[in-house]
A and B are shown apart, each in its own frame.
Chain A
Amino acid sequence: MPASPRDAEFDATVLAALPQVVRFARSLAHDEALADDLVQETYLRAYRSWETFKTGHDARRWLFTICRNVFLRYREREARVVDTSGEDAELESLAASMEHGEATRNGLGDLLDRIAVGPAIRAALAALPEVYRTAAILVDVEGESYESAAEVLEVPVGTVRSRLFRARRLLQKSLYSHAVDAGVVRPPATPGQGVAP
């Protein structure tokens, strides 16, 4: 049976974005089985509310919004307990710069050339609290603008900016820790410990 025009448009607009939705769901869920459930539920909801989607709008953004809402329902408790108070974009940038200065002094300035960056970044992103991870995935992986991410997350643009900067700072710190754990440099000696010859 040929697809109806409605379903053909759904295919071309919504099903075509399946890989992006799977990636987004996996980044939220950290669990492939749960991510698959999120994706299926996202597509069911999208199909049921397809009439509300405005032609010409960004279907991917619409799907990310639905997917995140489905995820939050699964993880309502975690979403509520993450403390995002005190977020300040400028302070996050400043702290990131100070931490880079310290890392450079500890011999980590060129760490990106000395570690397996892909796995380190994946692990660091996975370790971020959901609110920060989602901002980073939307902007730094999916290439959404701050404004689009704000729409998906249903928060002001300034909040996206703060969360994104926090995410990047935490990511940077994770990379330094990863490099130390990988033996790229020795951690700084603590007072009272002699320096090994």
Chain B
Amino acid sequence: MTIAGIDPPPLIDCHAAASALYDFLDGRLADTAVSAVQGHIDTCRNCASHYDFARQVLTLIPAALPLPTVSEALRGRIVTALKAEGYSESA
């Protein structure tokens, strides 16, 4: 049955929600599937907890590996090797 012509999201169980976890978090699900997952995690505490945990971990990963500062020694070594191939450094 629809209300005002809008179909309710399809119902899915914990198994289906679990299987869709990373596709959901990576934004790779179709809109209908997103609604179905969202509908499930809105009402399932366990699945909501895992979705929240996984989302937090994915957010924390980039911060755990910040861009390194490239040492002058390494940069110099690369430039020297490139110069042997004919490279000339910008002033």
Chain A contacts to B: CB under 8 angstroms: 1-4, 7-8, 10-11, 15, 18-20, 22-23, 26-27, 36, 39-40, 43-44, 47-48, 89-94, 96-98, 100-101, 104, 109, 112, 117-119, 121-122, 125, 136-137, 140-141, 143, 146, 164-165, 168, 171-172, 175
List 30 A-B pairs, Cβ < 8 Å: A2-B88, A2-B90, A4-B88, A7-B87, A7-B88, A7-B90, A11-B90, A18-B70, A19-B69, A23-B67, A39-B74, A44-B82, A47-B82, A47-B85, A48-B85, A91-B19, A93-B20, A93-B22, A93-B23, A97-B14, A97-B21, A97-B47, A112-B56, A118-B63, A118-B64, A121-B61, A125-B64, A141-B62, A146-B28, A171-B61
Q: In whole angstroms, how far apart are the Cα atoms of A40 and B80 in the complex?
A: 10
Flag if A141 contacts B61 (CB, 8 Å): yes
Query: C-beta contact mask, B40-74 vs A, less than 8 Å → 1, else 0?
Result: 00000011011001101110111111011110001
For A44, the chain B residues whose CB sits under 8 A away are 81-82, 85
A170 to chain B, nearest CB (A): 12
Flag if B82 contacts A43 (CB, 8 Å): yes
Interface centre among B46, B58, B61, B91 (most CB of A within 10 A): B61
Flag if A97 contacts B18 (CB, 8 Å): yes
In order of increasing CB-CB distance, the 4 nearest A-B pairs are A97-B18, A121-B64, A100-B50, A90-B19
Q: In whole angstroms, how far apart are the Cα atoms of A184 and B18 in the complex?
A: 26
B24 to chain A, nearest CB (A): 9
Flag if A23 contacts B89 (CB, 8 Å): no
